[in-house]
Amino acid sequence: MEHEHLNLDEEDEIEIPEEELMKEGSTFNPELCLVGRFLTNKPVWEQHMMDHMAGVWTPPWEKGKRQSKCHLINTVPFWVQVHHLPAGYISKTVGQNVGDYIGELLDYDEKNSSDFWRKYMGIRVMVDVRKPLPKSKKIKKKGAEAIIVQLQYEKLGRFCYYCGILGHTEDSCNKLYSLDDDDETRKWGLELRIEARRKTSNDGGRWRRTEVPTLCDLVQKYRADVIFLCETLVHANKIEEVRVRLGFDASFAVDRVGRSGGLAILWKHPFDCNLINFSSNFINIEVNHPTYPKWRFTGFYGYRPDGGRRHDSWNLLRTLAQDNSLPWCIMGDFNDILSNDDKRSRVEHPPWRIRGFRSAVQDNNLTDLDRSYCQKY
C-alpha cells in the first residue's frame, strides 16, 4: 500500500525548536490578562461586556486588540469581619482557623491586634461561590465554653436568602422554585452584608433631578388628577417641592425607612382626598369629587421580596379589604404577579408565589385591570 511505511504511532513525540518560537513571537501574554467572574445566573452579552470593560480597563499597548475568553472561576476574595469575639481571641491564630473554615485565608488585618477596642477581627478569605455563605461558627479554647462568632462580608453582591449562594436572589432560586409551598423561613439575611459608607448624603437629590422631569411628562400626557408614588427614597417634606413642580394642589407623604421606601399621593382640585390611615407600606384615602360618588383609593407598596415577608404583604391586602363601605381601587408595587405572562424577564416566578398572591386577590374580590383599560380611562 502507498502508506504502509508511515509511522502512525500516536506515542511518538514532535519536538518543537524553542528558538523558532522565540523568533516568531506570541500574541498571548498571561501577565496582561484580566480575569473575572460574573456572579449572576442571567445571560451575559459578550460583546456588550467587552465594550464596557474596554472603557474601564484598556492597556495602552492593546488598544483596538480586545479579546475575551470564557474561563470558569469558582472562588472570589472577600474581606470578612468576625464579630462577637471575646477579649484575647483577636489573634492571627484564630483568624487562620476561622478563615480556613470560610474558605482559604489570604490575609489577616494586623490593625485588629494593635487596637484593644476593636469590635471585630478582619480577615481576607477566598470564598467558593458554589457553596452557601458561612454566616457563623462556634469556636472555643481548651477548657473554656464555646462561643458563636458572626461573620459579615464587605462589598457583598447579590445572594439568595434561601440557599445562601452568591449570584442570584430568591426570585431566581431553583431550590425555592421547586418547593410546593414556602414557609418563608430564611437562614440568611441582610446581617451578612456590611453597608458601604457614603461620603455625602444628598437626601434623594439625584432622584428629584432625574425622575421629576419624567413625572412632568407623564402628568402632562395623561392629564392625571391623582397620582401615587412609591419608593420615593426621600423624606416626606421633600415631596412638597415635587408637588409644586408638578403643579398639584395638595399631597400626603410617608417618610422613607433608612435608604429605601417612601410613599406619596398628590391630587388636584376639584378632587379632595381625606386620609384614612397609612403605614410605610400603604396610604389609604377617601376620594371626594363634586360630580362622582365617594370612593376609596389605596396606594400599596409590598414588603421586600427578599425579606421573607411575602405572606405579610398578602395578609395586609386582606386587612385593607375589610373596610368595604366604599368602592375600592388599589394600585402600586405589590412585588408579586398573577401570572408569569406579566413578567418581562426570562426568570419565572415559582408556582407557590403566584398561587399565594392570586389567592389574596380573589379573597378580597379584586379585579385585575388590564393595562390598556388603565391607559384608556
Of 194, 216, 242, the domain-final residue:
194
Do 161 and 211 have their domain in common? Answer: no
Q: Are 345 and 248 in the same domain?
A: yes
Domain count, the chain: 2
Look at residue 147 and tell me whether its pLDDT is greater than 80.
Answer: yes
pLDDT tens per residue, range 350-368:
788 888 888 988 988 888 8
Last residue of a domain, one of 141, 164, 194: 194
Query: Does 251 share its domain with 189?
Result: no
Residues 362 and 246 in one domain: yes
pLDDT at 58 over 70: no
Q: Which CATH number goes with the domain that contains 322?
A: 3.60.10.10
Establish if 13 belongs to a structural domain. no
Q: Are residues 187 and 308 in the same domain?
A: no
Quick check: is 67 in a domain?
Answer: no
Please determine, for residue 115, whether its predicted confidence score (pLDDT) is greater than 70.
no
Question: Do both 361 and 278 map to the same domain?
Answer: yes
User: Does 162 share its domain with 215?
Assistant: no
Query: Would residue 30 count as lying in a domain?
Result: no
Residues 327 and 209 in one domain: yes
Please check whether residues 175 and 211 belong to one and the same domain.
Answer: no
Residue 61 within any structural domain of the chain? no
Asked if residue 185 and residue 98 are part of one domain, the reply reads yes
Q: Is residue 36 part of a domain?
A: no
In whole angstroms, what is the distance from residue 109 CA to residue 251 CA?
A: 51
Q: Could you tell me the pTM of the whole model?
A: 0.54
Range of the domain at 372: 205-376
Do 177 and 211 sit in the same domain of this protein?
A: no
**Residue 41 falls within a domain, yes or no?**
no
Mean pLDDT across the stretch 221-226? 88
pLDDT tens by residue, 289-338: 999 999 999 999 998 766 568 888 899 999 999 887 899 999 999 888 88
